[in-house]
A and B are shown apart, each in its own frame.
Chain A
């Protein structure tokens, strides 16, 4: 089967820093693929190269077998990629519902009319999406009045509103309360298999409860790509994360892993 996403030799430098250095990545259709790695590993940068927010210095990106390396972010989104950002970036003057309607109307069959206002169908779908991510009844609230966790939920609704084939989530659960975060896991687990998910997450409990494939990024390079069990068993991964240390500290059932999501993002 053609992979939904294939990256080959993706590279991006900031000055002397090679933030993403020759990354090869293949995502199978319907996968729940986690991308993990210590702070500053290049995960967010890799996401930006995939979605076209940032241009790669080298390498290529294929979406469902089609080379999209030269295409703009707008085109890639229209072809079925959508993303949530690590630091939520929304619309300050809009309500939650208006925000989602904006994405829904763009990915409807109908044109963006310069004379007609929002269709009832658009409203309904936006409302349903908000309910799905746990923001039911919060549609009328202005975005700046939402809590941090609610904004992250809104980000997910916004990304889903784009009817993605490939959904990229950059630390979707960071800053969410445990209740919000388990709701998110439930939502992601319940997504239809036509939606392939690639997500970055520091909370390894969440990663291993959801992912069917894991890629570990370290210093801009792929350290390991495999099943969750392979990653759990890997010495190299443990060292990348902790320098040295006992594996149980990292992957044990009662480990301190949830603290990872609270670590502020590296610069």
Chain B
């Protein structure tokens, strides 16, 4: 029993060590404009919560994130399916994809502001660019990797059209891969939130607050509190996705990937 308990909580050890180190180093440096103490960050966090920043900021960021991720999913999955199934479409689109993919989402900002102005959708677009490619590429990889014998089986059992073969065979086979891509897309998309809110599409949001207020005010403790908050939210999103989506889709894969 003791052993089990210990195993369950070992992840806390490096965390606690890191916090203690941080606190000690901050005390030695003794300059909050370089490194605020951990305890100070916790207090700041509490202050921010009382001032009522957290709720609007988190909701606004999740809103931007939601727009971007939803758009990335709705564009990435169908495009990925088409590219994975129809070789001709792959040959046509692949160069375009590989050209656009390496462009950092940040580089799109001027263009997007010119196109759609300082709106929530502009922030959504940055996140969309970040999340699109992981989703799209995992989708077409999954579709393309569908074992030939499964497709042949489907043909023999009456899947006569491409639509039927995609719907009944390639797509269900690719779902775990699409889920993994979506999870990666969520990760990249969330990382884009700060950048997306930096240029002032809204008067709230984690990125807006962190960059346009806390940083301008030289409140490094607030900045770090929000950095931690961004990390924690990403962690929660990841766990929720794993629990509600991935584990269910991966159930049948046990025998294949272990």
Same assembly: no
Write the residues of chain B forming the contact surface with A, with a CB cutoff of 8 angstroms: none
Write the residues of chain A forming the contact surface with B, with a CB cutoff of 8 angstroms: none
